Amino acid sequence: MSLLPKSHEEFSHRDFWNSFFKKRGTRAFEWYGEYPELCGLLHKYIKPKDIILMIGCGNSSLSADLYDVGYRHLTNIDISHVVIRQMIETHGKDRPDMVYKQMDALHMTFDDNEFSVVLDKGTLDALMPDNSEEVQKRIDKLFSEIDRVLRVGGRYVCVSLLQEHILLKLLEYFPAAGWMFRVCRCIEAERKSPDGDGPAFPVFVVICTKFKKLANATPVLEVCFTCEQIQRVKTQSDVVIAVRSVQQSAMVCARLSRGTVAGHGEVSLDLHRPNEDTPRYTVYVLDQPYSRETSRRFAAFIVPQGRETEWLFATPEGRVALLKSAGFDRLAVVALHRDHTYKGLDAVQEELCDSILHLAPPGCRQGNQIPFLSVGSDVGRREVCYRGHSQMSGDFVVEEAEGDGGKLFRRLIFLNNQGTVQSEARLKILKSRKGKPKKVVDIGYLASDYLIYMTVGVALAAPENSVCHVAVIGLGGGGLCSFIQHCFTKIRITAVDIDPVMLEIATNYFGLVQDERLGVYIRDGIQYIQQAAEKGTTFDVVLFDVDSKNHTLGMSCPPKEFLEPDVLQAVKTCIGETGFFVLNLVCRNVDLRMQALKNLTAVFDSVSSFKLEQEVSEIVFCCGFKVVTGDEWRSLIEAAAVKVNALAKKRKLQADNLVDVTNLVSSLQIST
């Protein structure tokens, strides 16, 4: 039977502790580590010459261990007369100078300013099980007594699990009284293998140093969670957030060390350096059912810089495929963040080794060699070409990075959604007359498969020998517009984007060239379509490739207002009875997707769609005339896809077929 209490409320009751120690006997009860784990921090803040009071000593051996290494001025108090009698019997002969007294820490009989250190190992946690008014009064009395018996310059050293209500109480009392406040994490106490008595939570040591209170003085607040690096923070909220982050990550590690997450998705953690606000690494941990036929339990996979946005590494589905391909029971997939410097793969492995070990599955802990996997022999490279700010989308970077096969890519990344490439171009290196290599955008490259199938939508409406008018709502980096411009010679493209920054970026970095066949308008896309319908402006095809700025919704493309009935009706008016409407639909929410398709089928006479493999995108083809059968739809789509392949080869944009015609036709879903 466990000796731990059934509920936290029991911690503060005198009868509980008397019963607890009677049942446990004289064996020390170390909730938060023992002297070997705590000594590094204790020796830093407590010196042998200090006059030390340990409150709520219990039957901990900590005082005896301190005594044995030279601390002689030690007084221990506890509310339980049972444990005090036990401790006197245990230590009275061998440690005659150490004092034990039965006393309530809320009503101490010591003189004012008698001690230079008050040491508390778990007592505050025991006395404060909740945040009730009665408990608050009790802790106010405790802190008042600590303040009274400590001299100026003295320290209240509190070993605690720092539940949030306890941390808030400490922050409420001591900084306001002019004390310096520091929270340190005791890594050594966490690393000790639990024996069933210890909690699976991080252990903290709070050091409150008493100073004379000065009027209007700014509180000194500090945290130190690793490697002796102390970080000064501005507000009490900063302390709470920092502690909470450590606690949450520790709980994740504890869960991972005790069992599998197979069948429950993946677990992710951000890893920071001390004093740095931005993550240095993001780690995704995935499990598959344990196989007794292999000893391949655990490995880490380092994703090279520049490749973190690829499907295999950027999506949960891709990482599952990577896990299965690697053949380990558990895989930690590590992404390297931009704006950090990485010296090489070996340096990254060395830096990550300890953190990765904490994510290991049961039975694979200290002493095990964790294999590190990657693509190639280095960490890749990422070079920022331009940094800017968009009023619509926030801060962004244009950067160049190596992809699969050593090919060079230029990408537009919005920093509020760094896992998604907004626009991408493949670069070709050409030699100039002066002999210096020159980077040029490969117009024949379409970054995503969905762009290929939107081009098929253009081919649906593009006649062989006459002009075809296309409206593209959503410019982005301009890759789709540039490809259509070069693939179809009689095309007239009107591109519309609400963000003027997009036109600047597309022109300066992604090879967009406006001419008599391509014009860009900076307008609201919905207003443009509605006004075009009112004016009687017609298009042979309208393309919607607009992303939502609200990433919390289940539909990220297009924004839901683009699929309102009045907007769709305006599109239908613009394309008339012979044109086509092509939509890039990115929707993870089943109900939202069904509503979107319902809106489309209510307005357009015929609707079909193609769901891309390994992507969330779904290309929806709509028209204002009735396509009688599914075979008729497939015949139209097949002819358009064949046309795209032929034109791409003819214009030397692609050497091979761009569209997998067979897959497209066989996978086409007919809605109406």
pLDDT for position 199: 41
- 90 in Cβ contact with 111 (< 8 Å): no
Looking at residue 18, what is its pLDDT? Answer: 59
- pLDDT bin (cut points 50, 70, 90) of residue 539 is very high
For residue 252, give Cα distances in angstroms to 284, 331, 334, 618: 12, 15, 16, 35
Residue 54 DSSP code: E
Average pLDDT over residues 210-239: 86
Residue 68 sits at φ, ψ, to 5 deg, of -70, -20
pLDDT surpasses 70 at 5: no
In the predicted structure, residue 8 carries a pLDDT above the cut 50: no
Split at pLDDT 50, 70, 90, the class of 362 is: confident
Tell me the average pLDDT across 57-71.
93
In tens, the pLDDT along 559-576 reads: 999 999 999 999 999 999
Q: What's the rounded Cα separation, in Å, for the pair 114 and 152?
A: 10
Q: Which has the minimum average pLDDT: 103-112, 319-328, 371-380, 513-522?
A: 371-380
Query: Which of 573, 546, 574, 581 is closest to 461 using CA atoms?
Result: 581
Give the highest mean pLDDT range of 193-197, 617-621, 623-627.
617-621
Q: Which of 232-246, 416-430, 522-536: highest mean pLDDT?
A: 522-536
Amino acid making up residue 241: I
Specify the pLDDT at position 556. 86
Q: Is the pLDDT of residue 645 over 60?
A: yes
From residue 608, alpha-carbon distances to 543, 583, 600, 634 in Å are 15, 11, 10, 9
Ordered DSSP codes for 114-179: -EEEEEEESHHHHH-SS--HHHHHHHHHHHHHHHHHEEEEEEEEEEE---HHHHHHHHHHTGGGT-
Q: 625 CB contacts (<8 Å, ≥6 apart)?
A: 577, 578, 605, 606
pLDDT of residue 292: 60
Strand partners, 388: 396
Q: Is pLDDT at 529 greater than 90 in this prediction?
A: yes
Q: Name the helix (H) or strand (E) containing 609.
A: strand 606-611
Residue 62 pLDDT > 70, yes or no?
A: yes
The pTM of the full predicted model, rounded to 2 decimals, is 0.71
Task: Work out the percent of the chain whose per-residue pLDDT is above 70.
Answer: 91
pLDDT (mean) for 105-121: 96
pLDDT at 522 over 70: yes
pLDDT value at residue 3: 29
Lowest mean pLDDT among 127-141, 210-224, 503-517: 210-224
Residues in the chain: 672
* Inter-residue contact 337 to 401 (CB < 8 Å): no
Structure tokens at 333: 């997939």
Between CA 532 and CA 548 the distance in angstroms is 23
Helix (H, G, I), strand (E, B) or coil at 622: strand
Mean pLDDT within 53-76: 94
Structure token digits, residue 631:
């075979």
The CA-based dihedral angle spanning residues 452, 456, 458, 460, taken in that order and rounded to the nearest 10 degrees: 180
Other beta carbons less than 10 A from residue 652's beta carbon: 10
Question: What's the mean per-residue pLDDT of the chain?
Answer: 87
Per-residue pLDDT, averaged over 76-80, amounts to: 95
